[in-house]
Structure 1
Amino acid sequence: MVKIFNVSQIKKIDGCTVINQGITSIDLMERASLAVAEKLIRFLDPDQCILVFAGTGNNGGDALAIARILLSRHFKLYVYIVAPDELFSDDCLVNKECLERLTDVKLIKENQDIPHIPEDCIVIDGLFGSGLNRPLEGVYLDVVTVINASHNKVYSVDMPSGMFVEDNASNNPEGIIKAEKVFTFQFPKLSLLLPDSANYCKKMTVVNIGLCEKCIKEEETDLFFIEKSDATQLPIPRDNFSHKGTFGKALLIAGSYGKMGAAVLSARACLRTGVGLLTMHVPRCGVDILQTAVPEAMVQADEFPENVSSVGDNIDQFAIGIGPGIGTDDKTKDLLSDLFDKYRKPMVIDADALNIIAGDESLKEKIPSKSIITPHPVEFDRLMGGVSINGYERLQKAGEFANRYDIYIVLKGAYSAIITPERKVYFNSTGNPGMATGGSGDVLTGMITSLLAQKYLPLNAAILGVYLHGLAGDLAAKSKSQQGMLPSDMIEYIGKAYRALK
Structure 2
Amino acid sequence: MKLFATSQIAGIDKYTIEHEPISDIDLMERAASKLVDWILHHAEPDQHLVFFVGPGNNGGDALAAARMLAWALSNIEVYIMDLGKGMSGSANTNLERLQQQNRTRIVYIDNDSSLPEIKPTDWVIDGLFGSGLSRSLKGLPSEIVKHINASGAKVIAIDIPSGLMGEDNRENDREAIVRADVTLTFQFPKISFLLPENDPFTGNWLVQNIGLHPDAIEKTETPFFYTDQQVARELLKERRTFAHKGTFGHALLIAGSYGKMGAAVLASRSCLRTGVGLLTTHVPRLGYSILQNSIPEAMASIDQSDLIFTQNPDLTPFNAVGIGPGLDTKCNTGRGIQQMLEEELKKPMVIDADALNLLAKNPEWLKNLPTETILTPHPGEFARLTRSVDCGYERLKLAMDYALENGVVLVLKGAYTAIACPDGTCWFNSTGNPGMATAGSGDVLTGILLGLLAQGYSAKDAAILGVYLHGLAGDLAVRESSQEALIAGDITQHLGKAFATLKDS
Structure 1 residues 453-483: Cα deviation after superposition (integer angstroms, max 9, x where no partner):
1111111111110110110011001111111
Verify the 8 A CA contact 2:159 2:185 in the aligned structure 1: yes
Deviates more, 1:455-464 or 1:43-52: 43-52
Residue 480 of structure 2 corresponds to residue 479 of structure 1: yes
Q: Which residue of 1 aligns with 2:444?
A: 443
Q: Give the RMSD, CA atoms, in angstroms.
A: 1.4
Q: Which residue of 2 aligns with 1:294?
A: 295
In the TM superposition, 1:408-427 aligns within 5 A as 408-427=409-428
Residue 371 of structure 2, aligned match among 346, 369, 372: 369
Q: Which residue of 1 aligns with 2:20?
A: 21
Structure 1 residues 7-62: Cα deviation after superposition (integer angstroms, max 9, x where no partner):
22111111111111222111111111111221222212222222111111110111
Question: Separation in 1 of the partners of 2:449 and 2:358?
Answer: 21
Question: What is the DSSP-based 3-state SS (H/G/I as helix, E as strand, rest coil) of the residue aligned with 1:263?
Answer: helix
Deviates more, 1:308-317 or 1:328-337: 308-317
Q: Which residue of 1 aligns with 2:172?
A: 171
Amino acid at match of 2:332: K
**Deviation of 1:314 (Å):** 3.6
Q: TM-score, normalised by structure 2?
A: 0.96
In the TM superposition, 1:53-452 aligns within 5 A as 53-74=52-73, 76-100=75-99, 101-110=102-111, 112-315=113-316, 317-342=318-343, 343-384=345-386, 386-452=387-453
- Gap regions ≥5 residues in structure 2: none
**Deviation of 1:249 (Å):** 0.6
Amino acid at match of 1:353: A
**Deviation of 1:333 (Å):** 0.8
Question: What is the DSSP-based 3-state SS (H/G/I as helix, E as strand, rest coil) of the residue aligned with 2:42?
Answer: coil
**Deviation of 1:364 (Å):** 2.1
Question: What is the DSSP-based 3-state SS (H/G/I as helix, E as strand, rest coil) of the residue aligned with 2:205?
Answer: strand
Alignment length (residue pairs): 500
Deviates more, 1:310-319 or 1:252-261: 310-319
Structure 1 residues 335-388: Cα deviation after superposition (integer angstroms, max 9, x where no partner):
11111112422200111111111111212222221111111112112110x211
**Deviation of 1:215 (Å):** 1.3
Verify the 8 A CA contact 1:107 1:113 in the aligned structure 2: no
Verify the 8 A CA contact 2:416 2:431 in the aligned structure 1: yes
Amino acid at match of 2:362: D
Verify the 8 A CA contact 2:283 2:302 in the aligned structure 1: yes
Question: Separation in 1 of the partners of 2:261 and 2:314?
Answer: 24
Question: Separation in 1 of the partners of 2:439 and 2:151?
Answer: 35
Deviates more, 1:13-22 or 1:442-451: 13-22
**Deviation of 1:317 (Å):** 2.2
Amino acid at match of 2:166: V
**Deviation of 1:130 (Å):** 0.6
Verify the 8 A CA contact 1:9 1:219 in the aligned structure 2: yes
Amino acid at match of 1:138: G
Question: Separation in 2 of the partners of 1:148 and 1:93?
Answer: 27
Q: Which residue of 1 aligns with 2:51?
A: 52
**Deviation of 1:389 (Å):** 2.6
Q: Which residue of 2 aligns with 1:3?
A: 2
Structure 1 residues 290-315: Cα deviation after superposition (integer angstroms, max 9, x where no partner):
11111111111111111111112244
**Deviation of 1:497 (Å):** 0.5
- Gap regions ≥5 residues in structure 1: none
Amino acid at match of 2:471: G
Question: Separation in 1 of the partners of 2:329 and 2:267?
Answer: 18
**Deviation of 1:166 (Å):** 0.7
Question: What is the DSSP-based 3-state SS (H/G/I as helix, E as strand, rest coil) of the residue aligned with 1:328?
Answer: coil
Q: TM-score, normalised by structure 1?
A: 0.97
In the TM superposition, 1:26-41 aligns within 5 A as 26-41=25-40
Verify the 8 A CA contact 2:250 2:317 in the aligned structure 1: no
Aligned identity (percent) is 48
Amino acid at match of 1:72: W
Amino acid at match of 1:367: L
Question: Separation in 1 of the partners of 2:244 and 2:215?
Answer: 45
Amino acid at match of 1:404: E
Distance 1:314 1:380, change over 3 A: closer
